[in-house]
Structure formats: structure tokens, C-alpha cells
Amino acid sequence: MFKKEKMLSLTKLFLRLSIALIFSFNLISCLNSTILASETINLKDYIKDKFPSVIYNIYLASLDELDSYEKEFIDILQNLPEGTQRYYAKEVYNNGFTQELLEKVREEIIAEKSSAKLEEKVNEKLPTVSKEIEPLPTRIEKLSLKEKIAYRFVLNEKNTYKYWYNRFLFCGVDLDRSRRVISRIKNFYHWCDEWSKEGENLENLAQEALSKENIYTAKYLFHDAAGCFFVGQLPYYIDINKKNEAQERARENYKRAIELYDEEKRPVRIEIPFRETFIPGYLRLCGQSNRPLIILINSIDSIKEIENHYLGNFLLEADFNVFAFDGPGQGEMWKNMKLIPDYEKSISTIINWFEENNKYSIDLKKIAAYGISLGGYFSFRAAALDKRICCAVVISGPGYFTTLSELKKVKGALLYTTGANSLKEVKSLWSEISIKEVPQLDRPLLLIYGEEDKTIPIEHAYYIMDWTIGEKELKSYPEGEHACINFLDEVVPYSIDWLRKHLLE
């Protein structure tokens, strides 16, 4: 009897333990599920403000709801250099996230920390550079020590100038002339002075040729002088008075050059009322009636008389009419109106004027916008907001500027054109620049970008391609630099063929 009761008690105890264990396992499973659920988080919420641009939303979109490994990946990624960030983010975009990828970024951050420590030790042993190297000219703002060192030692033929030659060619300046001038420049402080001397020399030669009635020679040399004065002020923001003087001399020489054109080929000066000032521009007619109009939009540091004059030459040969102008913050307009966030309204105002004053036999039902760099941004922005623009060509145009680190790439030009005293002021005036703030473009768009562009990386093109809903084409050059300046001999003819297919056929 005693044994039976003992056995019964043991059985009951066993059953109780079994029930308790089952309950415990279920509870643990529920807790684990709850913990895992709480550890996942939406990608867009998690990466907000972690990366230098919104393109990372597209690159990392496949991650969606993040688990602990993916969160670790993003936490490490945000602390890596921008170029490395972009590389691994593109890996996720192209091939998806893997544990192997996580291991690679773990190794990258270890290497980065080791490199930083080594650099710190090296810097401790370097001598201090004197801040007062020499008296400096009047400036737009006080130069930092870093800028002083860059202007004196970094900006030179080997490191920088040789990459600018192609742009100078597009300004009408011969390659050998560029090399001769640059050989005289000891450091960047003398940049504007030496180019202005070259411009003055060419201007004197042009006047001499004109006095001897050598009209073609004079015309050519006045254009050449305009190009030299323009190049002298182009990247130069140390002394704003000098910059503006050189730019004005470029305009004067251009005017003297076009005065020597035959009447039917001479650019027509037009001034279009805009707000409390006017938009100055030059209309060039191809000589045939009822042909389309291409509106050329300056980049942030261009003026209508130089690069867009030479681009206009190619477009005229292809039977297009061309209008090049200075918009707010550019060229002649700079004195009366600085760069404005709604720049596209100046383009719509131009179209309004031509509709009201169409005495030039232009087909105004076929209008295209064509812009390079920031001009490219204004080009497709204007097309998105004004249906009268049939199509747009964009070369290396930004789709967004969301962080101060991105704005620093064009700091001098932005402060000059906007009239702001700091990049923070620029950002507060313009807020976040993004093409996705305007309606999606539903008309043809050609995008041309360089994959080696450090100013406007190729990611901007992907961002724009994601935004536009009309016919679109992206043509990229693996070795292309900013504005594909090292492939202009291919880029310009291709863009013109594209315009002919969309406007003439």
C-alpha cells in the first residue's frame, strides 16, 4: 500500500514537472519572438541622417526591416570614409546583404582605426606650419590655414591644373597657351594675374590686327582674350574684385569679337525683364526658319559668353537656334540678383518672352533645356515644372545636395553666387536641394555622367533615373571626370544627335 502511494506521488510530481517545463519552453519562445520583433527596425528610420546623401535609401532598400546583423553593418558603414561607404552600399544594391559583407566592413573599420592612430603619431612629429606665410590680397572671407597651404603648395600643374586643360579648350584657349601661362604661375595666388596678363596681350594683338583691317584675325584674338580673362577668374575666389574685373574684361572682349561677325551670324543681344532686373542673353539663329530653340543654362561658375558660345557653335551647325543667358547669381546678373532657389522661373520667363516676341521664325513648340553641372539640375527642374520644354539634356547635374559635406565641394562658387557668408547660411536659405521635391518629369531626358566624377558622383544619375517617369537614357563613362570634361569630343556630338532625334525627326 505504501509503495503504491509512493509511486502515485512520484507520477504526479513527474507530470507537474513536465507541465512546468512545457510552460517554460513556451514562455521562452514567446519572449524570444518578442525580443526579435523588437530588434527589427525600419531601414529608412534607422539610416536617417547617418549618410551623406539620400541615395543610400536606394542602395540599402533591399534590407527593409533590419535584424541585428544588418544594424551592425549600417553602424559600421556610417563610420567609414565616404568612398568606402559608397562601395559597400553599392554591393548591397547589386548583390544583397551577406555575412561575408559584414565581415569585410568589420575589417575595414579595424584598418581605418589603425590608420588614424598612425596618422596621429606622424602628425605629432611634423613641424608646425606658420600661418603668416605672406600678406594676402582682399578676400571674400578669411582663408583657413588649410586653404592657404592648398593655394600655395597643392594646387599646381602636377596635382590639379592638368585636369583643367580640357575645360580651357572648351573656353577657346589653346592647349599650348594654357601650358605657357601655367608655367609662369608660381602658386595659385598669382592665377588671376597671369591669365589677365595673357588676356591683355591678346587684346592688344587683336586691336593691332583690327587697325590693319585684319578682321578675321582680330575676331579670333578677341575671342581668345575673352577666354583667357574668363579662365583667370574661373576657380578664383581669393580676391573678388580681381575676379569681377577679369570677368568684365571677358565680356568686353566677347562684345568686340561679335561686332566683327557678318550680320546674319552675329549673336543678338536680348534683355528680358525679370522681377526688379533683367536677364541678359544672346540669341544665335541657325539661318533656317521654323527650327527648334535650345536654351543653354550656365553651370555655377560659367558666363554666357564663353563655354556656351562654343557649345552653341556645334548646335548651330546641327540646325538649332540657341539662346545662352546669365541667370540669377551668374555673370552680368550677379550684381543685381544672386542665385535663387527657384532659378527655373527665369527659364520660364525666357520662354514667355519668346512667345510674346517671336519675330525670329523659331519653332517654340520644340524647346529643349541643356545644362552642365548645376545648370543640369536647373535644366531638368525647369523641364519638370514647365511643360513647354519638350526634352532636356543634363551633363553631370546634381539630383540632391543634402549635407554640408556635399556643399563643401563647391564652397567658393556657392558663397560667391548666393552672396551668403557661410555654407550654413546657404543651407538655411535653400533648405535641402532634391529633384524629388518637384513633379516627376514625363518627357524625354538624356543624362550623361562620369563614373570618376568626385564633385557629382554617378549616384546622382541613379537618383534622377528613379525620379523621372518619361523616356530616359543614362550614358556613363567609366573614366569620365566631372562634366565628362575628358570626353567632350564624344559627349557633345552624342547629345546633339539625341536632340535631333527628339526635335527634328
> In the predicted model, is pLDDT for residue 333 greater than 90?
yes
Q: Average of pLDDT values for 222-230?
A: 97
Q: Decide the pairing of beta strands 472-477 and 445-450.
A: parallel
Grid look-up 535631333 returns: 500
Task: Express as a percent the part of the chain with pLDDT over 70.
Answer: 80
In whole angstroms, how far apart are CA 109 and each of 48, 94, 115, 150? 21, 22, 10, 29
* Model pLDDT for residues 278-323, shown as the tens digit of each residue: 999 999 999 999 999 999 999 999 999 999 999 999 999 999 999 9
Instruction: Please give the Cα distance from 495 to 369 (Å, whole number).
Output: 12
Q: Helix, strand, or coil here: 355?
A: helix
Banded model confidence at residue 31, pLDDT cuts 50, 70, 90: very low
Instruction: Please give the Cα distance from 406 to 52 (Å, whole number).
Output: 7
Q: Average of pLDDT values for 318-329?
A: 98
Banded model confidence at residue 126, pLDDT cuts 50, 70, 90: very low
Q: Are 133 and 152 in contact (CB under 8 A)?
A: yes
Residue predicted with more confidence, 249 or 63: 249
> In the predicted model, is pLDDT for residue 20 greater than 60?
no
Among candidate residues 308, 327, 137, the one with its CA nearest the CA of residue 236: 137
- Size (the chain), residues: 505
**What does pTM read for this prediction?**
0.74
Instruction: Please give the Cα distance from 403 to 300 (Å, whole number).
Output: 18
* Model pLDDT for residues 231-247, shown as the tens digit of each residue: 999 888 889 999 999 99
Mean pLDDT of the chain: 83
Q: Please enumerate in sequence order all residues whose Cβ is within 8 A of that of 168, keeping only pairs 6 or more positions apart, or say none.
A: 175, 178, 227, 231
Q: What's the confidence (pLDDT) of residue 10?
A: 52
Question: Residue 202, class by beta-carbon neighbours within 10 Å (0-12 exposed, 13-18 middle, 19+ buried)?
Answer: buried
Q: Please enumerate in sequence order all residues whose Cβ is within 8 A of that of 404, keeping only pairs 6 or more positions apart, or say none.
A: 423, 424, 427
Task: Express as a percent the part of the chain with pLDDT over 90.
Answer: 55
Residue predicted with more confidence, 61 or 258: 258
> In the predicted model, is pLDDT for residue 226 greater than 90?
yes
Instruction: Please give the Cα distance from 134 to 147 (Å, whole number).
Output: 14
> In the predicted model, is pLDDT for residue 199 greater than 90?
yes
Q: What's the confidence (pLDDT) of residue 252?
A: 98
- The count of other CB atoms within 10 Å of the CB of residue 182 is 19
Banded model confidence at residue 143, pLDDT cuts 50, 70, 90: low
Q: What's the confidence (pLDDT) of residue 469?
A: 97
Q: Are 436 and 58 in contact (CB under 8 A)?
A: no
Q: Which helix (H) or strand (E) holds 51?
A: none
Which stretch of 82-86, 175-179, 468-472, 498-502 has the lowest confidence by average pLDDT?
A: 82-86
Domains of the chain and any CATH numbers: 21-125 (no CATH), 140-260 (1.20.1440.110), 267-505 (3.40.50.1820)
* Model pLDDT for residues 425-444, shown as the tens digit of each residue: 888 888 777 898 899 999 99
Q: Are 396 and 372 in contact (CB under 8 A)?
A: yes
Among candidate residues 303, 382, 372, the one with its CA nearest the CA of residue 345: 382
Grid look-up 562684345 returns: 255
Q: Helix, strand, or coil here: 252?
A: helix
